[in-house]
Amino acid sequence: MTKKPKAAVARGRRPSPAYAATRDVLIRCGMELLTEQGFSSTGLDAVLKRATVPKGSFYHYFANKDAFGAAVMEAYDDYFKRKLDRWLLNQERAPLDRLADFIADASRGMRKHRFTRGCLVGNLSQELGALPVDFRERLDAILVGWQERVARCLREAQSAGTIPAALDVEQLAEFFWIAWEGAVLRARLVQSDRPLVTFIEAFLSSLDARAQASPRHAADH
């Protein structure tokens, strides 16, 4: 029985710059393909072709497709967290404006790629039945990390008096990402960023309505 080549570098040895660079290219191309068509529909040949890496060399970098998928998810999470931090930690903007700025940036990105790419986490979540069992926990952990960033931004809005202190920001942050995934899916369906605009306008309007109805606002008036 023929064994597949073992992935990666021998334990204790640092990968060469060329090895690391090729692995990064494979992961980047994997991110592109998985945001376009999901995990099950993405064949390794397609990844290798896009990365211009010779066929047969995949297992030099990854033990199997599942290990590759895990590496792609980790890279996507790192990329997305950096994007969130760039917008949500911008102290030159009011907290709620930062959320709107993030959505505006996402809209530009979807238009740039002509709505061919969605959210990798959302794509994979739709095919859980065909994915390794541990992918479910990985995907949930990623969303929790994103939620924490939105919750932190909303807490800043509370500190600024923009939204009521009594609001459950953790619940609002969870709702934000539930609605986000639906908006991205709909945007791809209709080939328009209107669902993203509708989502953020409705989200911010609901916060404004709660602020208007708060006892503090009533007392001020």
Instruction: Round to whole Å and give the CA distance between 69 and 74.
Output: 9
Specify burial of residue 176 (Cβ count, 10 A radius: 0-12, 13-18, 19+). buried
Structure tokens at 17: 């710059």
Q: What global pTM score does this model have?
A: 0.88
Report pLDDT for 143. Answer: 98
Report pLDDT for 13. Answer: 63
Check residue 172 and give left, alpha or beta (phi > 0: left; psi -120 to 50: alpha): alpha
Q: What is the pLDDT of residues 16-30, one digit of tens each?
A: 899 999 999 999 999
Q: What is the pLDDT of residues 131-186, one digit of tens each?
A: 999 999 999 999 999 999 999 999 999 999 999 999 999 999 999 999 999 999 99
Please give the domain boundaries of the chain with CATH numbers for all domains.
17-213 (1.10.357.10)
> Which of 52-56, 124-128, 137-141, 213-217 is predicted with the least confidence, judged by mean pLDDT?
213-217
Instruction: Tell me the chain's radius of gyration from C-alpha atoms.
Output: 21
Report pLDDT for 11. Answer: 53
Report pLDDT for 9. Answer: 53
Do the Cβ atoms of 176 and 100 come closer than 8 Å?
no
Instruction: Round to whole Å and give the CA distance between 147 and 89.
Output: 14
Q: Is the dihedral of CA 143, 66, 50, 125 positive or negative?
A: negative
